[in-house]
Chains A and B, each alone.
Chain A
Amino acid sequence: MNTVETNYVTFPEPLALRSGVAFSPVTVAYETYGTLNNERSNAILVCHAFTGDAHAAFSSKADNKPGWWADMIGPGKAFDTNKYFLICSNVLGSCKGTTGPGSLNPATGKPYGLGFPVITIHDMVMLQKRLLDYLGIEKLLSVAGGSMGGMQALTWPVMYPERVHSAIVIAATYRHAAQQIAFHEVGRQAIMADPDWQNGDYYGKSIPRRGLAVARMIGHITYMSQPSMEQKFGRKLVGKEALGYNFSKDFEVEGYLEYRGQSFVDRFDANSYLYLTKAMDYFDLTENGQKLSEVLASVKADFLVISFTSDWLYPSHQSQELMRAIKATDTDVSYIELTSDYGHDAFLVEIADQARVVSNYLARIARERASVHV
């Protein structure tokens, strides 16, 4: 397998955030896969989801770990690295190399904590655009992502209509709805109710392990589906032959959530959890009271929208609303609801049909929109 190293670049110029704050400096962690052609016309930006990172594909030189979308990105895969040049960067506010609340504030010499500004999906996209300017990529062949990555992919052609030929929006929405905000708020409350959270100033001390683990457990429930949980766990017991008649773990699903919660604490920062969920909750392309089709009127990109049948966190009807709004504009959209039992997680694991759809879509865009000879 191909190997890859994470690169870092620091931009000293301030970012004009949506909140009104001018924020600097910002370091971006990013990886690239494949080769940029001479015309610089075969670049695709991949946007990661909530807890993802810049390591989207190949095997990490440092620890051999495969990327989070290694099934979709690679030689001969949907995002074919023999044809395209892929870029993935860690989002603003995360804890995987790009500046976030856990990064050192150069003004104080301590981690930002709650001194980090509240950020939005638009801010993340603005930073990605700065990275592309730095890499010398004038126009993307495509921008793609699932879940929070899909929100970024959708925001790209709205913010920078001249900079992108197409957007692939998977298992996402144009507007975070009440139920989606509600689940996030429960996660945030779990973190902030943990005494170890200490108003976000826990770096170098004991961290809010319990709160962050509970937040992740809730998240995991929303990423699965009723049938996938039933199939995976049913009512199977964990480590015992009969019910314990006490409050130790009885069921396998309890053990699974506990494991997921605990392993998450070791790889993710609680404050980033707060900031990134907030960014998603603030996401609403229609926030100024405009109709979505009016917001999209200036968009020039062609769209591919994908949803999954069992995804109840970002249900198909949200993708269908998006698809209908795009149809009302002059630009073209393809939409498919893929069949899967995996719930919201499907965009990471339901590869076969998703790969067929994405690879053929990219081939068409390369041919028709960007005249890329691949």
Chain B
Amino acid sequence: MIKLEYSIIAGIIEPGARVLDLGCGDGALLAFLKEKKDCRGTGIEINHQEVVKCMERGVSVAHGDIDGSLDVYNDRRFDYVILNESLQQVLHIDRVLDEALRVGKKVIVGVPNFCHLGARLQIFFRGQVPVTKALPYKWYNTPNLRFLSLKDFRRFCAEKGITIEKARYLCGGKEISFSTNLFADAGIFVLSRSH
């Protein structure tokens, strides 16, 4: 089954685009974009076993940390730089986003919403750090370094002079468009910065 966010991202990207996927995991998204959009893509992934899986999918990938990996690229080398469910695992958020906006004409960010209704209810009624379908980790084993809401992310972009060209919101595998910071468990943002 193809994840909804893959279809949304594929819908945003033009055919034949050059794509860099930061934190590309097992390469499923890159393979999907190659198949559906004939994208020329490459990825960066820190987990060794995931890198092997990328190669099994026939996806170009470099094993390593996202942080500090983009300085080798010229400005606007890629049509899109993608950070799908990986930005919240990055230590130097603004540095990585600045670099992504430099080497990519546009940046697509997919982030989980740590303040959607289900999470808020768990905090309020249980008094526990939420564990949900979209956020399946416990406090002690989460790979996430940053815990943000969709509102937080929009505010961050405004403060940093980053333009949000498009925003799409997901809730339980469906798209929604109202009260997104309350109901959406994830958001996908298309970002750009005037150079």
Over the window 336-368 of chain A, the binary record of Cβ atoms lying under 8 Å from chain B Cβ atoms (1 yes, 0 no) is 111100000000000001001100110110011
At the interface with chain B, which of A58-66, A122-130, A138-146, A320-328?
A320-328
Mostly, the B contact residues are mixed
Docked pose: A335 CA to B64 CA in angstroms: 9
Chain B interfacial residues counted at CB < 8 A: 16
- A363 contacts B58, CB within 8 Å? yes
Q: Is A334 an interface residue (CB 8 A)?
A: yes
- B55 contacts A334, CB within 8 Å? yes
Over the window 143-170 of chain B, the binary record of Cβ atoms lying under 8 Å from chain A Cβ atoms (1 yes, 0 no) is 0000000000000000000000000000
Mostly, the A contact residues are helix
- B62 contacts A361, CB within 8 Å? no
- A337 contacts B48, CB within 8 Å? yes
Min C-beta distance of B116 to chain A, whole Å:
36
Contacts of B57 in A (CB 8 A): 360
For window 14-58 of chain A, which residues contact chain B by CB distance below 8 Å? none
If the complex has contacts A323-B62, A327-B62, A328-B73, are A336 and B55 also in contact, measured as CB distance less than 8 A? Answer: yes
- B55 contacts A360, CB within 8 Å? yes
Docked pose: A193 CA to B64 CA in angstroms: 45
Contacts of A325 in B (CB 8 A): 72
Q: Is A332 an interface residue (CB 8 A)?
A: yes
Docked pose: A335 CA to B51 CA in angstroms: 9
Q: Is A333 an interface residue (CB 8 A)?
A: yes
- A334 contacts B60, CB within 8 Å? yes
Contacts of A356 in B (CB 8 A): 52, 55-56
- B62 contacts A334, CB within 8 Å? yes
Min C-beta distance of B49 to chain A, whole Å:
9
- B42 contacts A357, CB within 8 Å? no
**Residue positions of A touching B, CB distance < 8 A:** 293, 320, 323-325, 327-328, 332-339, 353, 356-357, 360-361, 363-364, 367-368
